Amino acid sequence: MDGGGMRGLVSVVCLMFSSRRLLGNDKLPDYFDWLIGTSTGSMLALSMAQGKNLQECFFQYWDMKRKIFLDGSTMARLFGNQVPEQTRNIEKILKDCFPNETFHQSIRRLTVPAFDITTSPGRLYTFRNYAFDKPFGSALPEEQDVLFRDAARASSAAPTYFEPFHYNNRKLVDGSFVANSPLNILWKEYDNFFKYDNKIRLHGLVSIGTGEPALMERKIKELTTLKRRAVHIATVGTLILEQCVGQDQCSVEAASDRCAAQGVPFVRLSPVGVNVRIDQIDDGKLCDMIWTTLRWLYDNVQEVDKLGDILFKLHSDPSQRGRQRRSNTIL
């Protein structure tokens, strides 16, 4: 599940729409046994691992927006006290959402990436509740356990919005810097199982985005005046931001190609036409975002039905009815 701040509501709506269309209820997350999420996606993944249904996840997001983000300008964030205050806010919210849950208590595989900036250059840091050389559920060292709220805080620590999270003598920030869409993290983890000769089989991969802006022509002019040079600097900053949040879709395309090569069904749900700030707290603009999401889902309902086909094939075997079995389907 992708990062994107308050656009996490898009992810929840995609899951709710899919669950109610395919199952008639909000229990679609129960069909997945490996949850991977970055930034706001980590909060959603851990909420589902905690046992919350999708309706509870939706209202959790909706209610927390004004409890975390302050209605201030960019200058206030950069030069005022807004970042420390928002940091205190998100830590309080996460403590309320995840009081004592830990990774080792979960019955599903959990993966949450963050970005370690302790040294230069920064490096990927991954929270997980499994070992590559052991069967899932094997006892792991207690010191490797981590609280849900700590992993979510680290993976959501977007610079200029929140302070870095200090964990085991490391400074961790938003996992979106290395994997806003954590598909590349999935394949890195998957390949490590094979490296330790602990092979696992994937029966399906579902990627849930937080929406993408519609394609539009970018106007780039010759740098003949000082004003145009200033605009060019802003354009370069936008390009860097687009790369950080994965709007070029390279990781999605690579994951789709690899799934096709290995015969793993792949579904991607991420509405086009969503262009909302990650700290948006205006109810009207968020409702417009949700409406755009629903319109896209209705227009692309065949993608949702592909997910239904995957689940039907996995769970319609008569010999497996009434039995609990792992689907190895990833969200």
Residue 174 bears catalytic tag:
yes
Distance CA 321, CA 282 (A): 47
Torsion angle of alpha carbons 306, 271, 16, 63, nearest 10°? 160
Give the distance from CA 230 to its chain's centroid: 34
Which of 39, 47, 155, 181 is an active site residue?
39
Angle between helices 40-50 and 8-22 (to 10 degrees): 40
Percent of residues in the chain assigned helix, strand, coil, to nearest 5? 50, 10, 35
**H/E run at residue 128:** strand 123-128
Which of 174, 176, 251, 270 is an active site residue?
174
User: CA geometry: angle at 80 spanning 74 and 82, to 5°?
Assistant: 75
According to DSSP, the β-strands at 109-116 and 34-36 are: parallel
Distance CA 45, CA 208 (A): 11
Active site residue ranges = 39, 174
